[in-house]
Amino acid sequence: MKTYQTGEIRNIAIIGSSGSGKTTLAEAMLFEGGVIKRRGSVEAKNAVCDYSPVEQEYGYSVFATPFCVEWNNKKLNIIDCPGADDFVGGAVTALNVTEAAVILVNGQAGLDGGTMNAFRNTETYHKPAVFGINQLDRDKVDFESVIEQLREACGNKVVRVQYPIATGEGFNQVIDVLLMKRYTWKPEGGVPTIDDVPEDQMERALELRSELVEAAAECDDAMLEKFFEEGDLSEDEIRTGIRHGLLNRTMFPVFCVCAHKDMGVRRMMEFLGNVAPSPLEVKPLVNTEGVEVPYDAKAAAPSIFFYKTTVEPHIGEVNYFKVISGTLHEGDDLVNADRGSKERIAQIFSAAGSSRIQVSELVAGDLGVTVKLKDVKTGNTLNGKGADNKFNFIQYPDPKYRRSVKPVNESDMEKMMAILNRLRLEDPTYIIEQSRELKQTILQGQGEFHLRTLKWTVEHMDKLAIEFEEPKIPYRETITKAARSDYRHKKQSGGSGQFGEVHLIVEPYTEGMPLPETFKFNGQEFKMNVKGMDEFPLEWGGKLVFINSIVGGAIDARFIPAIQKGIMQRMEQGPLTGSYARDIRVIVYDGKMHPVDSNEISFMLAGRNAFSQAFKEAGPKVLEPIYDVEVLVPGDRMGDVMSDLQGRRAIIMGMESERGMQKLVAKVPLKEMSDYSTSLSSISGGRASFTMKFASYELVPTDVQNQLLKDYEAQQQDKD
């Protein structure tokens, strides 16, 4: 493969809903580009891009797979992305390292949640987008209805470059209104016959060409002026207008394809090579210092960013990268900006799905692969001598599904963690946490399928049996009113004894509250004389504020830290349910000590027990984590989704229409979201999607709190 210059490179992500045919399209592109001699298929388990064992087992894409095709003196670097929302991390990664996207639409299913998510992702990352309407040979395909759905969702920026003469079993012809030609395929697809638009299609073709010309003219001021003067544009001028429209997201061209019959694929590739932007035409990336780094192949030293890692048998880690600046050569010595280690790039490849094509160099803007690096992880930047860049531009979505995971054999815990960390290297949307609070290993991901594929991989590829359990909820405990307590710790068992007595008051803490002056309990008034105050921000959220109001030396200052330590110990295991406590102010105002028997341990225990007693008298409450949830759902399923959410103790915050779908916003307790991804898919027939993000801790309802207290008490009795 020759060295392609930056202006000759097109980086494109293929995205869309599950079942839209993305991997089949990728296979056709590889075949047309001569990379493979025979097209495989997902069903036959021999597709180039779905080559991992777990993908072949389940029959759908799990990973985003890069490949390249040489076409008309252009290099098309294409990333075939998973369609299922559970594997959205692959699409997010691809959109961050490409300059354009093909959104593939199932012509039979039309607009669905997956297609909308794909479009919203291109909007988030401001990427040019081309729609490909696929599977036009299926029954009951209504091309014009799909166009109307897309326009309702994305606006009149959706413009037909092609339309089919017929759909269904007889599909084999399209009219291209940019070229004003008819494309006709034999049953085996491939190279079409190209001729003039037939008379019976001319009126329709001219009408749509007029729409295309007008849309292209509106994307460029110079083109618009000429259009007003002459009423038409040349083919090249239309392309120029479309290119401007793509870059500014003021036009979304539509093409017709039937990927599994290899119809329309060559023309789409031709269009992408001619009109999709090169890295030179987009806004440069910004490094972590806020400095723009142009895609300049002539820069003195290369900077490359690693966006993906896989682990392959007999090879080890395979690292995928984008050349951000300069030109990378085989044998270059680079420095890892994130880890400080030195690396030699012994071999460079262009990706071809399950295989690789060796090259001698890659220029700025190109995508490549290398192997056998010593210390490179996804997200790292390597620099040549003289370059000092570091990039961190890929932000992954928040997790939506969580499970506790453990090995069937407890002695395999260390082995399991090593495997999980390796799998997270391949898919950064997995989040693994060994929770000291919950005493569980919590695995978080994008959905049930997401975690199920991980489990399959661990059990079948790594031969380690693991099991999932319902994860515990990280509740919090707090108080709602002030309370007073005193506790004397006294122990005598020969020799020196233990003695410490602590009197304290607890009250709810809020930011900015004034210093305490007086309290009244059971008709008795307690005046505070503040000697000192310490604030302890808690790693689990909230604060503990400790006020020393000791007068007359009742407790020596050297014992105050021990009292604080005892209170903090109880904050880490709240008196109600053993959960972390938060947002409490403690005022120690009196106590007693013994000249011989008082020591740190005595006051630590006295402080701990006094705090526990006061806590239970201070209107204690359990708090639960509440999440902001956004659900994107077709209008005909809105009622069912809302009813389901209300059954999950959700508070509906609002509803609005969004591009042909309904967006429902709610606040929902984490406890109720355990199986939500599975339930939503069932309710909506797989057409809805959702996001969730931590919002706050709120009081649980009384009946829920009573059940939690009962469960905790039963657990404690079992331990005894």
Q: Give dist(CA 675, CA 535) in Å, integer.
A: 39
Q: pLDDT digits over 417-460, tens only?
A: 999 999 998 999 999 999 989 999 999 999 999 999 999 999 99
What are the structural domains, with CATH classification, of the chain?
Answer: 7-201+250-281 (3.40.50.300), 294-383 (2.40.30.10), 408-472 (3.30.70.870), 480-619 (3.30.230.10), 624-703 (3.30.70.240)
**pTM of the full predicted structure?**
0.87
* pLDDT for the residue numbered 717: 77
* pLDDT for the residue numbered 223: 75
* pLDDT for the residue numbered 136: 96
* pLDDT for the residue numbered 41: 84
Range 139-150 average pLDDT: 94
Work out the mean pLDDT of the chain and round it to a whole number. 93
Least confident of 149-163, 248-262, 652-666: 652-666
Question: Is pLDDT above 60 for 720?
Answer: no
Please report the sign of the dihedral spanned by the C-alpha atoms of residue 353, residue 358, residue 364, residue 370: positive
* pLDDT for the residue numbered 234: 83
Range 363-378 average pLDDT: 95
* pLDDT for the residue numbered 494: 65
Q: pLDDT digits over 191-208, tens only?
A: 999 999 999 999 999 999
> pLDDT-based confidence at 230, cuts 50/70/90?
confident
109 or 661: which carries more pLDDT confidence? 109
Q: Do the Cβ atoms of 475 and 708 come closer than 8 Å? A: yes
* pLDDT for the residue numbered 236: 87
* pLDDT for the residue numbered 474: 95
* pLDDT for the residue numbered 688: 84
Q: Give dist(CA 338, CA 324) in Å, integer.
A: 16
> pLDDT-based confidence at 358, cuts 50/70/90?
very high
Cα 532 off chain centre by: 45
Q: Assign 599 to helix, strand or coil.
A: coil
Question: Is pLDDT above 90 for 32?
Answer: yes
Least confident of 153-162, 306-315, 486-495: 486-495
Q: pLDDT digits over 660-676, tens only?
A: 678 999 999 999 999 99
* pLDDT for the residue numbered 231: 77
Question: Is pLDDT above 90 for 415?
Answer: yes
> pLDDT-based confidence at 99, cuts 50/70/90?
very high
Q: pLDDT digits over 579-635, tens only?
A: 999 999 999 999 999 998 999 999 999 999 999 999 999 999 999 999 999 998 888
How many Cβ atoms sit within 10 Å of the Cβ of residue 626?
20
* pLDDT for the residue numbered 496: 76
- The one-character DSSP state at 26 is H
* pLDDT for the residue numbered 47: 86
Range 648-652 average pLDDT: 96
Beta strands in 446-496 (DSSP E): 466-469, 476-478, 483-491
Question: Is pLDDT above 90 for 232?
Answer: no
* pLDDT for the residue numbered 429: 95
Could you give the count of Cα atoms lying within 13 Å of 608 in the half-sphere of its Cβ?
18
224 or 342: which carries more pLDDT confidence? 342
Beta strands 440-445 and 431-435: pairing type? antiparallel
> pLDDT-based confidence at 56, cuts 50/70/90?
confident
Angle of the 88-97 helix axis to the 113-124 helix axis, nearest 10:
30
Residue 438, classified by CB atoms within 10 Å of its CB into exposed (0-12), middle (13-18) or buried (19+), is middle
> pLDDT-based confidence at 399, cuts 50/70/90?
very high
Look up residue 539 and give its two tokens. Answer: 């790693």
Residue 276, classified by CB atoms within 10 Å of its CB into exposed (0-12), middle (13-18) or buried (19+), is buried
Q: pLDDT digits over 302-345, tens only?
A: 999 999 999 888 888 999 999 999 999 999 999 999 999 999 99
Beta strands 285-286 and 292-293: pairing type? antiparallel
Least confident of 11-20, 110-119, 142-151: 110-119
